Chains A and B, each alone.
Chain A
Amino acid sequence: MSGAFRGAGRVFDLSLGQLLWSRRTIFMALVLAVPVIIALVERLLTVGGITAMRVNDVRVGGATIFGLIIWLCLRVVVPILGVFYGTALIADEVDDKTITYLFTRPVRRAAVLLGKYLAYLVCTGLVVLPAIVIVYFLAVPFREVPGTFGALAIDVGLLALGLAAYGAVFALVGAVMPRPAVVGLVFAFGWEQAAMLMPGYLSRLTIAYYLQALVPHAIPSQEGVAALLQALIGEVPSPVTCVAALLITTTLALALGCRVVERREYVLEQ
């Protein structure tokens, strides 16, 4: 077992630089630059005495804007990063026909997935989380920091948990399926969105269900049929249930992914 972790460490060391300086990370940085710019503009306008944002004719403060950005990150950014990075962990090596080189190293196959997954976590975590901290300090007036820091800490933890859960699930998808990015996008933006609106227990088969229940910010002003449906059938699980469900999902998906990688015969197209 210790040999597997040592092997995972080596793969992590190798993969971190590759992930960090890839085109995906440039894309991620561009996506995350948007909330930073929004927060910066809001701060500049506020300093200039101009109301930056209004919803239903009501002035929206910095803390509310930060809450909206967190919602956007959890609903859109984190699943997208999970799909693009998670599915690529194994699939990219297969597509590039370089998986043979990894599998011929004296490390267990599972260690390859584990090491790459850890590299994904560090890479995305150290880009997303500092960006969110910067957004927080730009959007929220410093006098409100003592009262809202708890929410920031929860947000940072939630984003890390979301990245871990989505990454593990999509790493499994990448290890099992051909064209995993398409499957991942359908899961994240098709299945999850639809299941959240359906009555019954289907929503429990999504990651978003558990992540949303942990968000400390109020849900952004809801209108329309989707909001009505969510309000009617909505049910909020306890924080302990949510954290446990997310950790179990992450562990289970990773374990299954490792098992698949250990056993599967990857046939490289000629």
Chain B
Amino acid sequence: MTKRTRLFLGVACGILVAGLGTGLVAAYVGGFQNLVVIGSNGPDELAYVPQDAQMVAYANIREIMSSDLRQRLRELQPASPEAPRRFQDETGINVETDIDYVLAAAGGAGNDSNQDRPLMLARGRFDTVRIEGLLRERGGAIEEYRGKRVLTQPGAQFSVAFVEPDLAAVGNLAAVKRAIDTKAGAVADVTGNADVMRLVRDADNGSAWAVARFDTISTRLTGGLPPQLPPIEWFVVSSHVDGGIRGTMYAETRDEASAQNLQDVLRGMMALARLQAGQQADLSAFVDSLELSGQGKTVTLGFSVPAEMIDKLAAKRLARPGAPSEPLPPAQQPAPSTPAF
């Protein structure tokens, strides 16, 4: 064997071993994450979510609020955004500064409507003494439940429990109490729900994501869904927010034939969107970014809303008559107001 033959064999073997080795290490680490040995098994707050949850959603509020996208959206808003201020008035929580992330969950459309009510778990910095005092002033009730103080609005429509010093559970009284029961181990938590957790592990890599059993969404949608839509069992959406939004929607159907049908439906809708985009140039970047793929029972649709598209929409909005003449400066945040429980 000549020297150059040996050299060639060495280089070829090196490429092969390096490539397969790199892939193996990456897959090993990815696999570990999937096996939950060292990696993500979803947020810790899932320990408060009951096992029968049919919808789990997460949003990294801090990341979203500090993103370029948020700054652009602020330019679209009128001078004094009403909704956040009202929320702050009612809860004493400034969403932009006080909350790090939020986890929301809801049960299925079962018989016990109280258990189906959504629960929100917010991790952040809360002035619990102040909030409790305000609630008392407004006639709210405070009760101890499994060592946690549950604050309930008059009429028991809305309750808050600071289940950890920096974690608030918000929802109706039954949902909050059930969350406390779940953490205490009286009720099994959602980490034991293999279907939900399998999808949560896949989705838990974005600024915001949601995993839901599709029938729970469809029953809540007003007007329902077209009967021609193939049967979807699970629906996942995961997105990264920075200057724009990049995301993936993922549907798991009942069988492979349904997945194929769903792909066909989506392909048709994309063709229609492409036609519309021909008339509206602003949308073409979004439509161009759509990426449809499928494997087995799953259909995946990737999308991206680029920063340039948001800039164009912002410019259009500002050009309209009656729009704010100048964007809201970042320093001009709504002043903290007195919470009004």
Complex alpha-carbon distance, A156 and B9, angstroms: 17
Neighbouring B residues of A17 by C-beta, 8 Å: 1-2, 5
Bound: A98/B269 CA distance, A = 66
Cα distance A59–B1 when bound, in Å? 48
User: Is the Cβ of B26 less than 8 Å from the Cβ of A146?
Assistant: yes
Nearest-CB distance from B168 to chain A (Å)? 33
Interface size class of A (residues with CB under 8 A): 20 to 34
Q: Which residues of A sit under 8 angstroms from B9, Cβ to Cβ?
A: 122, 126
Q: In the complex, what residues of B have CB within 8 A of residue A145's CB?
A: 22-23, 26-27, 30
Residues facing B in A71-88 (CB within 8 A) are none
Whether a CB of chain A sits under 8 angstroms from the CB of B72 is no
Partner of B19, one of A59, A61, A134: A134
Q: Is A189 an interface residue (CB 8 A)?
A: no
Q: A170–B24 Cα gap in the complex (Å)?
A: 34
Chain A residue nearest to B202 in the complex (CB): A147
Nearest chain A residue, comparing its CB with the CB of B16: A130
How far apart are B316's CB and chain A's nearest CB, in angstroms?
22
Complex contact B5–A149 (CB within 8 A): no
B291 touches A149 (CB 8 A): no
Q: For residue A111, give the distance in angstroms from its CB to the closest CB of chain B.
A: 18
Complex Cα–Cα for A59 and B292 (A): 7
Of listed B12, B267, B271, B295, residue having the most chain A CB within 10 A: B12
Residue pair A126, B12 in contact (C-beta under 8 Å): yes
Asked if B274 contacts A57 (CB within 8 A), the reply is yes
| Complex Cα gap A56–B5 (Å) | 45
Quote the shortest CB–CB distance from B283 to chain A (angstroms): 15
Question: B152: shortest Cβ distance to chain A, in Å?
Answer: 45
B199, chain A: closest CB distance, angstroms: 14
**Within the complex, what minimum Cβ distance (angstroms) separates A116 from chain B?**
15
Is residue B29 within 8 Å, beta carbon to beta carbon, of the partner chain?
Answer: yes
Distance in angstroms between the alpha carbons of A103 and B293 in the assembled complex: 56
Q: Are B27 and A59 in contact (CB under 8 A)?
A: no
* A150 → chain B closest CB, angstroms: 7
> Chain A interface mostly helix, strand, loop or mixed?
helix
Question: Which applies to chain B's interface (DSSP): helix, strand, loop or mixed?
Answer: helix
Could you tell me the distance in whole angstroms from the C-beta of B240 to the nearest C-beta in chain A?
Answer: 11
Question: Known contacts A137-B19, A146-B31; is A61 also within 8 Å of B267 by CB?
Answer: no
List, in ascending order, chain A residues with CB within 8 A of B5's CB.
Answer: 16-17, 20-21
In the complex, A57 Cα to B272 Cα: how many Å?
A: 11
Q: Which among B29, B30, B33, B290 has the highest number of chain A CB atoms within 10 Å?
A: B30
B291 and A61 within 8 A (CB): yes
Query: Shortest CB–CB separation between residue B280 and chain A, in angstroms?
Result: 17
CA distance A95 to B5 in the complex (A): 25
Is there a chain B Cβ closer than 8 Å to A64's Cβ? Answer: yes
CA distance A16 to B12 in the complex (A): 14
The yes or no answer to B13 lying at the interface (CB within 8 A) is yes
How long is the Cα–Cα vector from A137 to B30 in the complex, in angstroms?
17
A13 within 8 A of B: yes
Interface contact B24-A149, CB-CB below 8 Å: yes
Question: How many Å lie between the Cα of A147 and that of B31 in the bound state?
Answer: 8
Chain A residue nearest to B18 in the complex (CB): A133
Q: How far is the CA of A152 from the CA of B21 in the complex (A)?
A: 12
B302 sits at the interface (CB 8 A): yes
| A195 lies within 8 A of chain B by Cβ | no
Q: Are A133 and B288 in contact (CB under 8 A)?
A: no
A133, B19: Cβ atoms closer than 8 Å: yes
- B261-275 vs A, Cβ < 8 Å mask (1 yes, 0 no): 000000100110010
> B77-101 toward A: CB 8 Å interface, digit per residue (1/0)?
0000000000000000000000000
Check B291–A58 contact: CB distance below 8 A: yes
Residues of A within 8 A of B145 (CB): none
Query: Does A127 interact with chain B (Cβ within 8 Å)?
Result: yes
Smallest Cβ-Cβ distance to B8: which chain A residue: A20
Interfacial chain B residues near A61, Cβ < 8 Å = 291, 293, 302
Is there an interface contact between A129 and B294, defined as CB atoms closer than 8 Å?
no
| List of A residues within 8 angstroms of B302 by Cβ | 59, 61
B319 at the interface (CB under 8 A from A): no
Q: Are B271 and A57 in contact (CB under 8 A)?
A: yes
Instruction: List chain B residues, Cβ under 8 A from A58.
Output: 267, 270, 290-292
For residue B104, give the distance in angstroms from its CB to the closest CB of chain A.
26
B77 to chain A, nearest CB (A): 29
B23 touching A149, Cβ below 8 Å: yes
Cβ-defined contact, B26 with A142, below 8 A: yes
- Is B67 on the interface with A (CB-CB < 8 A)? no
* A11-25 to B contact mask, C-beta < 8 Å, 1/0: 001001100110000
Given A59-B288, A149-B26, CB of A126 within 8 Å of CB of B20: no
Please tell me if B15 contacts chain A, counting CB pairs below 8 Å.
yes
Contact B274 A156 (CB under 8 A): no
Given contacts A17-B1, A146-B31, contact A51 B288 (CB under 8 A): yes
- Nearest 7 Cβ contacts at the A-B interface: A146-B30, A133-B19, A126-B12, A149-B27, A130-B15, A149-B23, A145-B26
B interface residue numbers (CB < 8 A to A): 1-2, 4-5, 8-9, 12-13, 15-16, 19-20, 22-24, 26-27, 29-31, 33, 267, 270-271, 274, 288-295, 302
Additional pairs, 10, CB under 8 Å, beyond known A51-B288, A63-B293, A152-B23: A21-B4, A57-B270, A59-B291, A122-B9, A126-B9, A126-B12, A129-B12, A130-B15, A149-B26, A150-B27
What are 12 A-B pairs with beta-carbon distances under 8 A?
A16-B5, A58-B267, A61-B302, A126-B16, A130-B15, A133-B16, A133-B19, A137-B19, A145-B27, A149-B30, A156-B20, A218-B294
